Amino acid sequence: MAKFIDGLYYSESHEYVRVEGNYGYIGITDYAQNALGNVVYVDMPEVDDEVTAGEEFGAVESVKAASDLNSPVSGTVVEVNSALEDSPELINQDAFANWIIKVELSDKGELDNLMDAKAYEEMCNK
């Protein structure tokens, strides 16, 4: 069964953002990694790239399918999770611990457009 963690912000396209100060750690949700199956590749942007809320920033490929990654927030990429380059399966082991990109948030107000864990869980259960 998928995990839903309180305190994170969730998008309808199954990405989450964990906010720490002015930074957001973005990854795919546990629900999404369960649906994808074994992750074999993660396509990530470069450091200093700009991401825009609701727009594509990369992709996750699994043995079943490839899925675009859409950013839940806007900002500048300050770090990518380089561990995923050699070990993309880390997302399957713990999607929430293995974020994909870290961004400096340009507009914290965008968080208001995202769901909390309860609302996201309800959406997933429909």
The neighbouring-strand residues paired with 60 are: 42, 67
Model confidence, pTM: 0.97
Q: What is the pLDDT of residues 65-103, one digit of tens each?
A: 899 999 999 999 999 999 999 999 999 999 999 999 999
Q: What is the mean pLDDT of residues 44-55?
A: 98
The rounded Cα 105 to chain-centroid distance in angstroms is 14
Closest CA to 68 of 23, 36, 102: 36
